[in-house]
Amino acid sequence: MSAPPSTGLPARNAAALAFSVGLFLFAVYLFTYRGGFHSVDEVSTFAVTESLVKFGQLNTDQIAWTQWVATQSEAQGFFGRDGHVYSKKGLAVSLFQAPLYWLALQLPGLGMLQSVSLLNAALTAATASLIVLILQRLGFSARASLVTALLYGLATIAWVYAKYLFSGALAGFLLTLTFYLLLRYKQDAKRPPIADQRPPKRPSPLATGLWLLPLAGFSAGLTVLARANNLLLLVIFGLYLLFSGQRSAVSGQRSTAHYSLFTIHYSLFIAGAAIAGAIFLWYNWARSGNPLQTGYDLSIFSPNLLLGLYKLLFSPLRGLFIYSPILILSIPGWFKLKKHHPAEAWLIAGLAGVTLLLFSAWTSGEGLSWGSRFLLPIVPFFSIAIAPMIDQLRITNYELRIVFIAFLAGVSIFVQILGVSINPWVFLGDLQAQFGGEFFLEKTGALYDFSSSQIVGQIQNWRVENSDLIWWQPGSFDWLAFGLGLALVLAAGWLLYDRRPQTVDRRSNPQIQRSAVSGQRSVVAMLVVSAFVTFFLLTRYYHTDTRQFGAPDSGYLQALNSAAQTYNGFDRIVTVAETNYHVPMNRFKGRVPLLGFARSVEPLPDTAYPLLESLLNVGAQRVWLVTAGRQPAEADNRAEAWLAENAFKAGDEWLPDTARLLSYGVPLPAQTLEINQLLGDNIRLEQVIRPQIMRAGQILPATFIWRAVAAPAGDYTVFLQLIAADGSLAAQHDAPPQGGYRPTGTWTQGDSLRDQHGLALPADLPPGNYRLIAGLYNPANGQRLTTLDGADFVDLGAMQVTNDK
């Protein structure tokens, strides 16, 4: 059936309207911004972005601890062929995050995580703009296009997910972009020639819309790079292109030439998708050595599709129509759309149907989810199907259907306000503590009982301490941020209202033509103002959001920045601060790789050893350990224990906020010295292994072989000193054996201990010959243990220091 007469705007005015909608929604999202992580899924994706921008790497070693604190099905990554940790998330989100991360990395006063947290806000706003353009091309009124786009941006789960870093917003944007590009190609290819003008023998690609096809293919391919399951949706787009091409009026009849031309066009779409597909296969190969290995378990499916459909669409737990009631209108709207645009209606049905069937059978839990985040990519298409229902309304008619649609819209917006205002993890955390496990929500009454749903939970937890709005936090209300954000919303809203004269349904209206240029100028001005306000607020939040990220000069950051100052391209920083992992992701701008561990009462897993052993690789001069809130030599600090046994501890510094900065040397070529000196009555130093020549600025690694002749009477501290030719102290190190993990008070008769220590040589140490001495002393009174000849130290021989590079 042919389409109705077009009531859309001229292209220039449609673009201005679309851009105005995007700016308004972005202003709203900035107003309800929080910035930061809500789920470990986001952390995994962001870690890839961080490694990619800072080091050109793909691993996520900085959050390696996440692999060992959860079951394998809950883990966000896997160990690659090189022993490093890799995220199982798609690469596309990190590629889109990278420019924002890089910009924040370069500019002082901008947090990387806080800046990247705006990506989905921009993508969601851009998706709404595309909805306007699509509906205009389908011939809907400007008013219906505007209302539909705003309903998508404010009355569906898209608003809540604009705050998060999940892949759904990007996938939704790319799918909508692909839809728009293919629709534009279809219409441009069928556009009749201008009257009295002979068509060119060889129309240019721009004139025929040929250039749109590889872009559409690439956009569709990127959705697979965002999440592998979107591969199935490429088939639906391919069928749409096939159907549209067969019905195209590029040729007056279906001749051989027509089919050849269409084959070329179809190949262009496939070529664009193949480029993204090649990146997808390379990414898989780079991580696992297998181009088809995505990291996801493909065996967790259930045959109970009806239960899955109920959960995704109607349950209080995840139901799309429960968390976005306005989308119920998409059902009757689809049938109306099919009357005039059957190809587009079936495209929407195909995309929605495949996605619904796939995730109805998918048994993996969604974790943090407002409604079903698995369905977020197809929410734009549900919204497009609403347009016919909006288009038939008349503002002057007080019909029951107007009241009903307004009621659905109001309820939907209210539900989203609950989702953006209060952190959903407050309620979900309580449920997880009660039921536990990855699928904890499926074990609650929320699957059937509305009183257990997140919507009710958000109302119950409406308190400032649970706020997910950055300007409304316990103990403070940021009036400046609130005022600026609200002012930007009002300004963008006025711009959108000012577009109103251009939403009349007559292309020939002179007012539209006269206001086109001024409208574009207003949009550009609003874009500049939005950019300025966004930058100002981000720099403000960098300093004011201390509840989430601590102070910009916190002890933890001081430790990281101090370690970064000596980075030589090979050194690494190990962190044991699993509750502070987000702090360096936002504030630490040093380009030093981090290896993140967590406390654990269990022994280190086998997969941890290759990561730790890589710290001592050739070229590294030192390893840094940074902890937060940890005391020395705690039993559950497995990373510190391993370093104490295998590296050479040279320094242990306390910084504000209970942060610690420890430095370790790495093994160097050394020789073994036979000592066999008795210290006191109970401890013999049998051997020392240490280099003969060192360079100023290095850490001298020294290994002591102790033996307990009898059980020592107490805990003693090892001292290691470098003495200059004039007898002055050039360098000193004091520490208990094995960093406190093997105190002498625990030794028994006959025990032998290999104890490694490091001596940090000052960078300005003059070259020359020095003497190395060591011994033991009682830390309570400073009294040293003496040798049989009465000396209170053991002479370890001469040491040559050079300043050679």
What CATH number does residue 743 fall under?
2.70.50.60
Contact call for residues 622 and 666 (beta carbons, < 8 A): yes
Residues 724-740 have pLDDT tens digits of 999 999 999 999 999 99
H-state helical runs in 289-319: 305-313
| Beta-bridge mates of residue 703 | 689, 756
CA distances from 98 to 107, 113, 115, 514 (A): 14, 11, 11, 40
369, 505: one domain: yes
Residues 452-467 have pLDDT tens digits of 888 999 999 999 999 9
527, 571: one domain: no
651, 728: one domain: no
Kindly state whether residue 718 falls inside one of the protein's structural domains.
yes
| Beta-bridge mates of residue 784 | 777
Q: C-alpha dihedral over 438, 444, 447, 452, to 10 degrees?
A: -120
Kindly state whether residue 44 falls inside one of the protein's structural domains.
no
Closest CA to 718 of 743, 693, 697, 699: 743
Residues 6+ apart with CB under 8 A from 795: 771, 772, 773
pLDDT of residue 351: 97
Closest CA to 180 of 214, 141, 131, 145: 131
624, 722: one domain: no
Sign of CA dihedral 433, 436, 437, 439: negative
98 class by beta-carbon count within 10 Å (0-12 exposed, 13-18 middle, 19+ buried): middle
Structure-block tokens of residue 388: 């016919």
Among 516, 540, 564, identify where a domain stops.
540
Contact call for residues 86 and 287 (beta carbons, < 8 A): yes
Instruction: Tell me how far apart the alpha carbons of residues 520 and 27 are, in angstroms, rounded to a whole number.
Output: 18
Strand 622-628 relative to strand 572-576, pairing: parallel
Residues 6+ apart with CB under 8 A from 692: 670, 671, 798, 799, 800
Closest CA to 623 of 701, 556, 691: 701
510 class by beta-carbon count within 10 Å (0-12 exposed, 13-18 middle, 19+ buried): exposed
Instruction: Tell me how far apart the alpha carbons of residues 503 and 308 are, in angstroms, rounded to a whole number.
Output: 41
608, 519: one domain: no
Q: In whole angstroms, how large is the CA radius of gyration of the chain? A: 32
Instruction: Tell me how far apart the alpha carbons of residues 445 and 450 are, in angstroms, rounded to a whole number.
Output: 8
What is the pTM assigned to this prediction? 0.91
How many CA atoms are closer than 13 Å to the CA of 604, on its beta-carbon side? 18
Closest CA to 368 of 457, 306, 254: 457
Structure-block tokens of residue 390: 């909006």
Report the greatest alpha carbon distance in the chain.
Answer: 116
Domain assignment of residue 568, given as a range: 556-665
pLDDT of residue 297: 64
pLDDT of residue 432: 76
Contact call for residues 75 and 67 (beta carbons, < 8 A): yes
Instruction: Tell me how far apart the alpha carbons of residues 372 and 564 are, in angstroms, rounded to a whole number.
Output: 42
Q: C-alpha dihedral over 385, 390, 391, 393, to 10 degrees?
A: 150
Structure-block tokens of residue 552: 């910009």
Kindly state whether residue 682 falls inside one of the protein's structural domains.
yes
Kindly state whether residue 591 falls inside one of the protein's structural domains.
yes
Which 3 state secondary structure label does DSSP give 259?
Answer: helix
Kindly state whether residue 73 falls inside one of the protein's structural domains.
no
| Beta-bridge mates of residue 731 | 722
Neighbour tally for 679: CB within 10 Å: 25
Among 650, 665, 680, identify where a domain stops.
665
Look up tokens 């995840």; give the residue: 318
Contact call for residues 530 and 54 (beta carbons, < 8 A): no
482 class by beta-carbon count within 10 Å (0-12 exposed, 13-18 middle, 19+ buried): middle
pLDDT of residue 198: 53
CA 140-146-149 angle, 5° bins: 100
Strands of 611-767, DSSP E: 622-628, 648-655, 659-665, 671-679, 683-690, 693-695, 699-708, 717-723, 729-735, 752-760
pLDDT of residue 4: 44
Look up tokens 């306007």; give the residue: 132
Contact call for residues 215 and 265 (beta carbons, < 8 A): no
H or E stretch at 414: helix 400-421
Structure-block tokens of residue 386: 């609403």
Instruction: Tell me how far apart the alpha carbons of residues 554 and 549 are, in angstroms, rounded to a whole number.
Output: 9
Structure-block tokens of residue 421: 């205002």
Contact call for residues 470 and 586 (beta carbons, < 8 A): no
Strands of 709-778, DSSP E: 717-723, 729-735, 752-760, 768-777
Sign of CA dihedral 404, 407, 413, 415: negative
Contact call for residues 691 and 701 (beta carbons, < 8 A): yes
Strands of 410-485, DSSP E: 472-473, 476-477
Kindly state whether residue 4 falls inside one of the protein's structural domains.
no
389, 314: one domain: yes
529, 380: one domain: yes
Kindly state whether residue 18 falls inside one of the protein's structural domains.
yes
Which 3 state secondary structure label does DSSP give 703?
Answer: strand
Structure-block tokens of residue 185: 């190609």
Strands of 552-670, DSSP E: 572-576, 594-597, 622-628, 648-655, 659-665
> How many domains are there within the chain?
3
736, 757: one domain: yes
H-state helical runs in 191-289: 205-208, 212-226, 231-246, 256-288
- How far the first Cα of the chain sits from its last, in Å, is 80
600, 642: one domain: yes
226, 266: one domain: yes
Mark the ranges of the chain whose per-residue pLDDT is less than 70: 1-8, 70-74, 190-208, 245-259, 261, 297-301, 363-365, 367, 394-398, 436-440, 442-443, 500-519, 805
Tell me which long-range contacts 263-267 makes (C-beta under 8 A, separation of at least 24): 265/210, 265/213, 265/241, 266/238, 266/241, 266/242
Among 665, 695, 723, identify where a domain stops.
665
Contact call for residues 312 and 374 (beta carbons, < 8 A): yes
pLDDT of residue 500: 60
608, 689: one domain: no
Residues 6+ apart with CB under 8 A from 505: 7, 141, 142
| Beta-bridge mates of residue 485 | none
Instruction: Tell me how far apart the alpha carbons of residues 19 and 729 are, in angstroms, rounded to a whole number.
Output: 70
Kindly state whether residue 508 falls inside one of the protein's structural domains.
yes
Q: What share of the chain is helix, strand, coil (3-state, %, to 5)?
A: 50, 15, 35
121 class by beta-carbon count within 10 Å (0-12 exposed, 13-18 middle, 19+ buried): buried
Closest CA to 310 of 263, 260, 360: 360
The packing angle between helices 168-190 and 342-361, to 10°, is 160
352, 467: one domain: yes
pLDDT of residue 28: 98
Instruction: Tell me how far apart the alpha carbons of residues 85 and 102 are, in angstroms, rounded to a whole number.
Output: 22
